[in-house]
């Protein structure tokens, strides 16, 4: 009996919450230090955590993240473009209520800009259940001095407003949280859009720039410039954009993020697994995003293979770890010597949006080449059959390229060639892959003559005929059905086939 009584007296003491439980707020004069991993704020509901977040070797940002997601998904950062040292850095709430972030050298890296003033000596920093980091006085009736919801980075949370004064900016990569090239913002005609703002050029790519605003279901007749989504997954913007998440309804924790690939996506969290599910996205085709593969490159997309990037003929990738820098002209194609001239190499089934300095309607291929050759700014041209005639889109830059079997354009790239053999020069250091740039639409799978002959059963079933050859039906090894054109002059075997 005494033992039982003793047990029940001790049990409540054992399970009493300790002071080590992370607080949801700090008062003025307090600080959070990067040297103490447990120096964090946790929202009362336990969903969000705020503290120093490691982004590299001895590099940290001050951030707010989902505590229950598998990868501790960051939703806001104070210093995304200027990480601080892993020793000695602090977030300080000074006497008087000024909130600053300092590095190891006690330099101020970031300061919270208050939107209101107070004479009160009691100021606190708190993380609420919505994931909003708030600087305010201790009085419930006092105004908010500053809040993270007013300065979003790449993510909106439920009931967080996007306004004329705020912008979402994508991160460079999944592990690099610094600012990248994509923005979600209200433009000067009051429409919510996605912008590619690259090192040299910029362009709107959502809503579709070739459509009139009202054809996209938007309106310019508003001046409020505000967008928000609620806890149920319903989004609404003042320009008439409206959508629901695919799992619409109360329950899951949600976030709207401008991802590293330039696509805007709404996510729901599975708290059992900590994983995120996409419940809406601005575009299902990643190649519609401008600048995704950088200049002088082409984006290709297949449901099985995902998105891929490759350089146009005569160019090579600039940064093998980051396609956003695109491709640069291979050294072997710079003009030099009397034995050099300029000609074109073509790639079919392409589209390149924008940057045409002129459009020549109802022109022959020969006249398009002549116009491009006579222009110092012409990098190439897109040749398309439209409404019964061929049109030529002369390009000053080769940007926003997209490849798909249903596209009708053929790109002609202006390059340096050798007069002697009238062949495109192959750079000295190029290997088999580079050679393949000119043997086929490079970075696509190349087939031998024997493989194509087998796929067409000896060029047996003719399904079409054009000015350059006959089109046959073929079945590939993975059972895909393909249309295969046999050029009129390529009948002698593999060598002549490849030459064509």
pLDDT at 143: 77
Task: For residue range 72-114, list pLDDT tens digits in order.
Answer: 999 999 999 999 999 999 999 988 788 999 999 999 999 997 6
449-498 maps to CATH 3.30.200.20: yes
Task: For residue range 64-77, list pLDDT tens digits in order.
Answer: 999 999 999 999 99
Chain centre to alpha carbon of residue 143? 37
pLDDT at 10: 37
Rounded to whole angstroms, how far apart are CA atoms 164 and 190? 9
pLDDT at 425: 44
Confidence of residue 149 (pLDDT cuts 50, 70, 90): very high
Domain with CATH 3.30.200.20 in the chain: 449-498
CA-nearest of 258, 217, 251 to 236 is 217
Given a cut of 50, whether residue 338 has pLDDT beyond it is yes
Confidence of residue 7 (pLDDT cuts 50, 70, 90): very low
Confidence of residue 13 (pLDDT cuts 50, 70, 90): very low
Given a cut of 80, whether residue 9 has pLDDT beyond it is no
For 302-316, 338-352, 415-429, which range has the lowest pLDDT when averaged over its residues? 415-429
Query: Percent of the chain, pLDDT > 70?
Result: 80
pLDDT at 305: 55
- In the CATH hierarchy, which fold is given to the domain comprising 25-151? Agglutinin, subunit A (2.90.10)
Choose from 161-165, 341-345, 429-433 the range with maximum mean pLDDT.
161-165
Rounded to whole angstroms, how far apart are CA atoms 96 and 86? 27
Please indicate if the annotation marks 485 as binding a ligand. yes
Chain centre to alpha carbon of residue 113? 29
pLDDT at 332: 66
Confidence of residue 405 (pLDDT cuts 50, 70, 90): confident
* Segment 172-195 mean pLDDT: 95
* Higher per-residue confidence, 424 vs 320: 320
Which CATH number does the domain 332-443 belong to among 3.40.190.10, 3.40.800.10, 3.50.4.10, 3.30.450.20? 3.50.4.10
Query: In sequence order, what are the beta bridge partners of 101?
Result: 91, 110
Confidence of residue 266 (pLDDT cuts 50, 70, 90): very high
Task: For residue range 354-372, list pLDDT tens digits in order.
Answer: 999 999 999 999 999 999 9
Contact 90, 36 (CB under 8 A): no
Task: For residue range 307-324, list pLDDT tens digits in order.
Answer: 889 999 889 999 888 888
pLDDT at 17: 40
* Higher per-residue confidence, 222 vs 11: 222
Chain centre to alpha carbon of residue 314? 26
When the pLDDT of each residue in the chain is averaged and rounded to a whole number, the result is 84
Contact 330, 317 (CB under 8 A): no
Domain with CATH 2.90.10.10 in the chain: 25-151
Indicate the pTM of the whole model.
0.77
pLDDT at 261: 93
Domain with CATH 3.50.4.10 in the chain: 332-443
Confidence of residue 421 (pLDDT cuts 50, 70, 90): very low
Confidence of residue 481 (pLDDT cuts 50, 70, 90): low
3-state secondary structure the chain: CHHHHHHHHHHHHHHCCCCCCCCCEEECCCEEECCCCCCCEECCCCCEEEEEEEEECCEEEEEEEECCCCCCCEEEECCCCCCEECCCCEEEECCCCCEEEECCCCCEEEECCCCCCCCCCCEEEEECCCCCEEEEECCCCCCEEEEHHHCCCCEECCCCCEECCCCEEEECCCCCCCEEEEEEEECCCCCEEEEEECCCCEEEEECCCCCCHHHHCCCCCCCCCEEEECCCCEEEECCCCEEECCCCCCCCEEEEEECCCCCEEEEEEECCCCEEEEEEECCCCHHHCCCCCCCCEEEEEECCCEEEEEECCCEEECCCCCHHHCEEECHHHCCCCCCEEEEEEEEEEEEECCCEEEEECCCCHHHHHHHHHCCCCCCEEEEEEECCEEEEEEECCCCCEEECCCCCEEEEEEEEEECCCCCECCCCCCCHHHHHHHHCCCCCCCCCHHHHHHHCCCCCCEEEECCCEEEEEEECCCCCEEEEEEECCCCCCHHHHHHC
In sequence order, the 6+-apart residues with CB closer than 8 A to the CB of 426 are 332, 434, 435, 438
Task: For residue range 207-235, list pLDDT tens digits in order.
Answer: 999 899 999 999 999 889 999 999 999 99
* Segment 402-417 mean pLDDT: 88
Given a cut of 90, whether residue 164 has pLDDT beyond it is yes
In sequence order, the 6+-apart residues with CB closer than 8 A to the CB of 487 are 468, 469, 497, 500
Instruction: Classify 160-284 by CATH class.
Output: mainly beta
């Amino acid at each position: 009996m005494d033992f039982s009584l003793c047990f029940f007296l001790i049990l409540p003491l054992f399970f009493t919450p300790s002071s080590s439980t992370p607080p949801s707020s700090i008062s003025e004069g307090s600080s959070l230090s990067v040297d103490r991993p447990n120096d964090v704020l946790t929202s009362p509901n336990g969903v969000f955590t705020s503290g120093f977040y490691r982004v590299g070797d001895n590099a940290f940002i001050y951030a707010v993240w989902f505590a229950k997601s598998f990868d501790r998904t960051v939703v806001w950062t104070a210093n995304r473009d200027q990480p601080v040292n892993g020793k000695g850095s602090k977030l300080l709430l000074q006497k008087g209520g000024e909130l600053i972030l300092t590095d190891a050298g006690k330099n101020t890296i970031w300061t919270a800009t208050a939107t209101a003033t107070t004479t009160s000596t009691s100021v606190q920093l708190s993380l609420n259940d919505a994931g909003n980091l708030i600087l305010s006085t201790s009085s419930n009736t006092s105004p908010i001095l500053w809040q993270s919801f007013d300065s979003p980075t790449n993510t909106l949370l439920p009931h967080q407003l996007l306004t004329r004064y705020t912008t979402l900016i994508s991160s460079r990569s999944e592990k690099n949280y610094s600012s990248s090239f994509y923005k979600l913002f209200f433009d000067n005609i009051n429409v919510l859009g996605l912008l590619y703002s690259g090192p040299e050029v910029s362009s709107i790519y959502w809503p579709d720039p070739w459509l009139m605003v009202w054809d996209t279901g938007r309106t310019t007749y508003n001046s409020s410039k505000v967008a928000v989504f609620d806890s149920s997954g319903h989004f609404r913007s003042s320009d008439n954009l409206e959508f629901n998440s695919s799992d619409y309804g109360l329950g899951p924790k949600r976030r709207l993020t401008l991802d590293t690939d330039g696509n805007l996506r709404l996510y729901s969290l599975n708290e059992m697994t900590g994983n995120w599910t996409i419940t809406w996205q601005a575009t299902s085709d990643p190649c519609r995003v401008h600048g995704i593969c950088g200049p002088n490159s082409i984006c290709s997309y297949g449901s099985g293979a995902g998105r891929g990037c490759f350089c146009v003929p005569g160019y090579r990738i600039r940064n093998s770890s980051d396609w956003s820098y695109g491709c640069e002209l291979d050294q072997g194609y710079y003009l030099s010597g009397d034995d050099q001239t300029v000609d074109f190499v073509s790639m079919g089934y392409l589209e390149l949006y924008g940057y045409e300095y002129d459009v020549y309607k109802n022109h022959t291929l020969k006249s398009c080449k002549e116009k491009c050759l006579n222009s110092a700014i012409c990098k190439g041209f897109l040749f398309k059959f439209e409404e019964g005639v061929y049109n030529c889109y002369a390009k000053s830059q080769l940007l926003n390229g997209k490849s798909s079997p249903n596209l009708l354009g053929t790109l002609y790239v202006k390059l340096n060639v050798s007069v002697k053999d009238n062949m495109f020069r192959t750079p000295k250091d190029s290997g088999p892959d580079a050679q393949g740039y000119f043997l086929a639409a490079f970075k696509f799978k190349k087939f031998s003559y024997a493989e194509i002959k087998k796929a067409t059963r000896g060029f047996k079933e003719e399904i079409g005929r054009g000015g350059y050859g006959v089109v046959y039906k073929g079945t590939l090894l993975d059972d895909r059905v393909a249309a295969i054109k046999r050029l009129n002059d390529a009948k002698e075997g593999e060598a002549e086939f490849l030459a064509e």
